[in-house]
């Protein structure tokens, strides 16, 4: 297990902000049962260090992660988690949709189609 320092705490706080009780937090909890070290690395390094770096705002960082997950084609659970996080960070549903559509000629139609289907509920307008 890695040292649980300020960076780890910052990661925990950011995960709570971005994911709350949604799919991203559930993904970290699920992997913690299998590999607590990997969960700690995700919290401290990927979230506490990388996502908090200067130079890009949090919504842009999450849109990049949406694009990366959609391009891979097999990271659909992570795609949903990062799309939800992008919304919480201030990105719009339209920005998420445009991020996915931008990939059509780079990731291919099947990857884009699968991403859109995976994000159907996330991209739906919230009920008033």
pLDDT in tens, 16-37: 888 876 666 677 778 888 998 9
Helix ranges, the chain (H): 6-19, 23-34, 36-41, 58-72, 76-88, 93-101, 104-107, 109-118, 120-123
In angstroms, rounded to a whole number, what is the distance separating the alpha carbons of residues 40 and 45?
8
Band the pLDDT of 43: cuts 50, 70, 90: confident
Which CATH code fits 57-127?
A: 1.20.1290.10
Whether 44 and 8 have beta carbons less than 8 Å apart is answered as yes
- Is residue 119 within 8 A of residue 100, CB to CB? The reply is yes
66-75 average pLDDT score: 95
Say what the pTM is.
0.86
Which pLDDT value is given to residue 21? 65
Please give the mean pLDDT across all residues of the chain: 89
Domain residue spans of the chain: 1-53, 57-127
| Under 8 Å between Cβ of 70 and 108 | no
Q: Is the pLDDT of residue 67 over 90?
A: yes
Name the pLDDT band for 120 (thresholds 50, 70, 90): very high
């Amino acid at each position: 297990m890695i040292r649980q320092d300020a960076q780890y705490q910052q990661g925990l706080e950011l995960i709570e902000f971005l994911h709350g009780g949604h799919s991203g937090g559930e993904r970290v909890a699920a992997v913690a049962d299998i590999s607590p070290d990997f969960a700690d690395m995700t919290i401290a390094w990927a979230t506490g260090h990388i996502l908090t770096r200067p130079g890009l705002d949090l919504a842009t960082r999450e849109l990049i992660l949406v694009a990366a997950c959609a391009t891979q084609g097999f990271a659909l659970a992570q795609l949903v988690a990062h799309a939800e996080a992008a919304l919480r960070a201030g990105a719009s549903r339209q920005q998420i949709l445009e991020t996915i559509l931008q990939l059509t000629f780079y990731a291919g139609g099947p990857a884009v189609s699968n991403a859109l289907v995976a994000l159907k509920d996330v991209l739906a307008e919230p009920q008033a």
